[in-house]
């Protein structure tokens, strides 16, 4: 995990890096650091904590200089503390480096380097890299030394490194962790993602696996994994900086929930022609994803089975290699907002090793998953900054519904989606009132059936990740097989209860929990359910009952948001989590 950013040009580098780190904070926020190279010296400042307080207490902006690199950390090796914060400096204090990823062979390397006399100050895997560069540099010039060091690494890495030798050069490398170059006039950037550089340029060059790049204010050179100079395609993005900022909302999450009414049009415009042909050509389909994307995948599985008659199964990506048996005839559909999730990447690699074709649905252009997939559909949801996925879930669902709907008249049903989303959004004050009723509870249950069950799972995930309340979702019929023993007076049960074919059965489940004293919150457009519930949030009626997941999820996202805020939590930065999970 972690976020990295580097700059070389003529601006005050500490400003560029500090601003960039704020935008990268969603990738990790347990510690932060910056290193500015000036002539033959390096000014390194870092500490435990989030960007704003650390940048202020360590006075990041006091440092002048036009070349710098910075890092926000999500701890994997070693607790979050000042010593383990990046960047890392070598024994001679002239080489500095920041890393995102996991160096798998770090302990062997560390032993060798220690024997050679290097002194380490942290418990991290990353620190070995700077000492490796230092060791190699005794024998060769900086670029060659950097290349030689990178060749010794096993695992995943996006690296930024500089040597304080007056050459004002930034060395970059990537393998299995994202790194994008930003190309400006008389200046160059490199960062884990595009929004971190969007204030300065709209031209970007995503690096490929194994690439090494050398940046100076005059431009850049890329070398491929064999050390040969290579040309990489540049892209121009249309996103405005505003799309990556809060736009007047108190939190990114609320902005992104509200964004959905706009972005769903973009997602519904995704080109699924080739993807649809792939689905048509396969009878057995395995869907792999994690977290929120897994819930979207579960919706896809239901639609593929019910509407297209396929043998479809949804798998948690990290489990896939241990429980599935894909082959040449299997189509694997991987769903990942970031396109970088290590668990999903590993599952895709496993499927490819078995000869399966891979179709991926992702939001991030040129992300790692796009490079190993046979076909890609982009979600077109724009950047999502809040750690909790909201608009990208809806975008995944929109693309999924388009994928399973036949072209032409088959797609007419999709036209109702944007207005269902808007009508759900209009319930915000009712939702806030319900949030106030449940914000001080300990355990909260969600129930649903059919397509409403994955929505209930996603509602429970949203609530637990940003409010720290214990929330579980059950298919309505499962309650009596165990969980019913947890229901007692006042325990909230949130019933996702639209007027669809599953409602008569779910109604019975609502009665079961009511009889045991539960406080029932119903999302419903049904009169009888409304009368049975303690409180209800109106669902806009959907002419096509399969579309209910769209208004349902908006309501559950807003509910989680308001509970989080009422509990005094920052919903954009939940503890222990990060947006892009690049460790297995």
Which residues does the annotation mark as catalytic? 2, 579
Q: 89 in the Ramachandran plot: left (φ > 0), alpha (ψ -120 to 50) or beta?
A: beta
Rounded CA gap, 430 and 29, in Å? 33
Query: 491, 540, 539, 542: which is closest to 518 by C-alpha?
Result: 491
CB of 344 to ligand F1P, least distance (A): 5
Q: Is 581 near ligand F1P (CB under 6 A)?
A: yes
Q: Which residue, 78, 36, 69, 71, is CA-closest to 51? A: 71
Min CB(554)–ligand F1P separation in Å: 16
Which of 290/463 has CB closer to ligand F1P?
A: 290
Among 201, 338, 356, 564, binds ligand F1P (CB under 6 A): 338
Q: DSSP alpha helices (H): ranges in 41-126?
A: 51-57, 106-115
If one asks whether residue 341 binds ligand F1P (CB under 6 A), the answer comes out as: yes
User: Is the Cβ of residue 100 or residue 293 nearer to ligand F1P in the bound state?
Assistant: 293
Q: Which of residues 124-163 bind ligand F1P (CB under 6 A)?
A: none
Between residue 307 and residue 326, which ones bind ligand F1P under the rule CB under 6 A? none
Give 336 or 524: the residue with its C-beta nearer to ligand F1P.
336
Nearer to ligand F1P, 425 or 581 (CB): 581
Angstrom CA distances, 336 to 223, 288, 340, 513, stand at: 29, 9, 7, 35
Distance (Å, rounded) from C-alpha 447 to C-alpha 453? Answer: 7
Query: Is 290 among the residues that bind ligand F1P (CB under 6 A)?
Result: yes
Backbone angles phi, psi at 293, to 5 degrees: -65, -30
- The contact mask relative to ligand F1P for 342-361 (x = CB under 6 A, - = no) is --x-----------------
Closer by beta carbon to ligand F1P, 292 or else 502? 292
Rounded CA separation 228/221 (Å):
10
- Phi and psi at 65, nearest 5°, equal 130, 155
Q: How far is the CB of 389 from ligand F1P (least distance, A)?
A: 4
Count residues contacting ligand F1P (CB under 6 A)? 14
Q: Does 462 bind ligand F1P (CB under 6 A)?
A: no
* Minimum distance of ligand F1P from residue 535's CB (angstroms): 28
Shortest Cβ distance from residue 27 to ligand F1P (Å)?
10
Residue 293 found at the interface with ligand F1P (CB under 6 A): yes
In the numeric block, the tokens 């909790």 are attached to: 388
Contact present, 99 and 150 (Cβ < 8 Å): no
Residues 15-44 that bind ligand F1P (CB under 6 A): none
Give the angle subtended at the CA of 262 by the CAs of 257 and 268, to the nearest 5°.
Answer: 110
Q: Which of these segments, 40-48, 127-135, 334-342, 514-522, binds ligand F1P (CB under 6 A)?
A: 334-342
14 binds ligand F1P, rule: CB under 6 A? no
- b/e code 93-119 from CB counts within 10 Å (16+ = b): ebbbbbbbbbbeebeebbeebeeeebe
CB neighbours of residue 408 within 10 Å: 7
539: which DSSP letter? P
* 96 phi-psi bin (left φ>0, alpha ψ -120 to 50, beta other): beta
Query: How far apart are CB 75 and ligand F1P at their closest, in Å?
Result: 16
| 6/291 with CB nearer ligand F1P | 291
Return the residue of 337, 368, 394, 546 that touches ligand F1P, per CB under 6 A: 337
Q: Taking contact as CB under 6 A, which single stretch among the options 230-238, 252-260, 331-339, 412-420 is the one that binds ligand F1P?
A: 331-339
Q: Binding of ligand F1P at residue 582 (CB under 6 A)?
A: no
CB of 202: closest distance to ligand F1P in angstroms? 24
- Among all residues, whose Cβ is closest to ligand F1P? 291
> What are the backbone dihedrals phi and psi of residue 121, each rounded to the nearest 5 degrees, phi first?
-115, 0
Q: Which of 31, 124, 169, 336 touches ligand F1P by CB under 6 A?
A: 336
Q: How far is the CB of 88 from ligand F1P (least distance, A)?
A: 26
Interatomic CA distance for residues 118 and 129, integer angstroms: 12
**Min separation Cβ 338 and ligand F1P, Å:** 3
Q: ∠ CA 580-360-419 to the nearest 5 degrees?
A: 85
Tell me if 524 contacts ligand F1P by CB under 6 A.
Answer: no
Q: Which stretch binds ligand F1P (CB under 6 A): 9-17, 178-186, 192-200, 384-392?
A: 384-392
Judged by CB under 6 A, the residue of 31, 100, 126, 292 near ligand F1P is 292
Part in contact with ligand F1P (CB under 6 A); list of ranges 273-281, 324-332, 337-345, 374-382: 337-345
Q: Which is nearer to ligand F1P, 122 or 346 (CB)?
A: 346
Residues with Cβ within 8 Å of 149's Cβ and at least 6 positions away in sequence, in order, are 129, 132, 133, 135, 136
By CB under 6 A, is residue 557 in contact with ligand F1P?
no
Which strands, in side-by-side order, build the sheet including 535-538? 470-475, 443-448, 492-497, 519-524, 535-538
Q: Establish if 397 lies at the interface with ligand F1P (CB under 6 A).
A: no
The enclosing H or E element of 47 equals strand 41-48
Q: What string of H, E and C letters represents the secondary structure of 159-186?
A: EEEEECCCCCCEEEEEEECCCEEEECCC
Q: Which residues pair with 222 in a beta bridge?
A: 213, 230
- Residues within the interface to ligand F1P (CB under 6 A): 290-293, 336-338, 341, 344, 387-389, 579, 581
């Amino acid at each position: 995990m972690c976020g990295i950013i580097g700059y070389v040009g003529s601006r005050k580098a500490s400003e560029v890096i500090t601003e960039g780190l704020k935008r990268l904070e969603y990738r990790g926020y347990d510690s932060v650091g910056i290193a500015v190279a000036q002539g033959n010296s390096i000014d390194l400042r870092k500490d435990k904590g989030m960007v704003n307080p650390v940048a202020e207490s360590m006075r990041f902006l006091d440092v002048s200089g036009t070349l710098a690199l910075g890092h926000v950390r999500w701890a994997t090796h070693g607790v979050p503390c000042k010593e383990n914060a990046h960047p890392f400096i070598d024994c001679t204090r002239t080489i500095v480096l920041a890393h995102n990823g996991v160096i798998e062979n770090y302990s062997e390397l560390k032993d060798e380097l220690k024997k050679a006399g290097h002194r380490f100050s942290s418990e991290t895997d990353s620190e070995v890299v700077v000492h490796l560069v230092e060791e190699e540099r005794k024998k060769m010039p900086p670029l060659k030394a950097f290349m030689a060091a990178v060749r010794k690494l096993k695992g995943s890495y996006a690296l930024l490194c500089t040597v304080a030798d007056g050459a004002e050069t930034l060395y970059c490398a990537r393998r299995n962790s994202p790194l994008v170059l930003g190309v400006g006039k008389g200046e160059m950037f490199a960062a884990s993602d595009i929004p971190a550089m969007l204030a300065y340029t709209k031209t970007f060059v995503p690096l490929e696996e194994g690439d090494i790049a050398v940046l100076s204010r005059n431009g850049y050179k890329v070398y491929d994994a064999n050390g040969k100079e290579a040309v990489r395609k540049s892209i121009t993005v249309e996103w405005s900086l505003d799309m990556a900022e809060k736009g007047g909302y108190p939190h990114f999450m609320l902005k992104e929930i509200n964004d959905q009414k706009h972005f769903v049009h973009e997602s519904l415009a995704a080109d699924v022609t080739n993807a649809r042909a792939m689905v048509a050509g396969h009878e057995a389909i395995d869907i792999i994803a994690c977290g929120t994307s897994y819930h979207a995948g579960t919706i896809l599985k239901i639609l593929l089975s019910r509407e297209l008659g396929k043998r479809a199964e949804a798998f948690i990506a990290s489990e896939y290699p241990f429980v599935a048996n894909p082959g040449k005839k299997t189509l694997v559909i991987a769903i990942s907002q970031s396109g970088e999730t290590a668990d999903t990447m590993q599952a895709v690699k496993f499927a490819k090793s078995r000869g399966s074709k891979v179709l991926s649905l992702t939001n991030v252009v040129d992300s790692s998953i796009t490079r190993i997939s046979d076909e890609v559909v982009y979600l077109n949801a724009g950047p999502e900054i809040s750690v909790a996925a909201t608009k990208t879930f809806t975008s995944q669902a929109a693309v999924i519904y388009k994928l399973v709907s036949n072209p032409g008249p088959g797609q007419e049903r999709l036209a109702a989606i944007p207005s269902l989303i808007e009508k759900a959004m209009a319930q915000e004050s009712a939702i806030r009132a319900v949030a106030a009723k449940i914000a001080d509870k300990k355990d909260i249950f969600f129930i649903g059936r059919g397509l409403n069950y994955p929505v209930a799972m996603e509602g429970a995930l949203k609530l637990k990740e940003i409010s720290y309340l214990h929330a579980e979702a059950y298919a309505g019929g499962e309650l009596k097989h165990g969980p019913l023993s947890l229901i007692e007076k006042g325990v909230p049960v949130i019933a996702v209860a639209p007027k669809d074919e599953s409602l008569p059965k779910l109604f019975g489940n609502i009665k079961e929990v009511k009889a045991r004293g539960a406080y029932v919150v119903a999302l419903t457009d049904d009169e009888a359910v409304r009368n049975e519930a303690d409180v209800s949030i109106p669902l806009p009626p959907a002419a096509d009952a399969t579309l209910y997941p769209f208004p349902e999820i908006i309501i559950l996202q807003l509910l989680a948001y308001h509970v989080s805020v009422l509990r005094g939590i920052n919903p954009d930065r939940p503890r222990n989590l990060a947006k892009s999970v690049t460790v297995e």
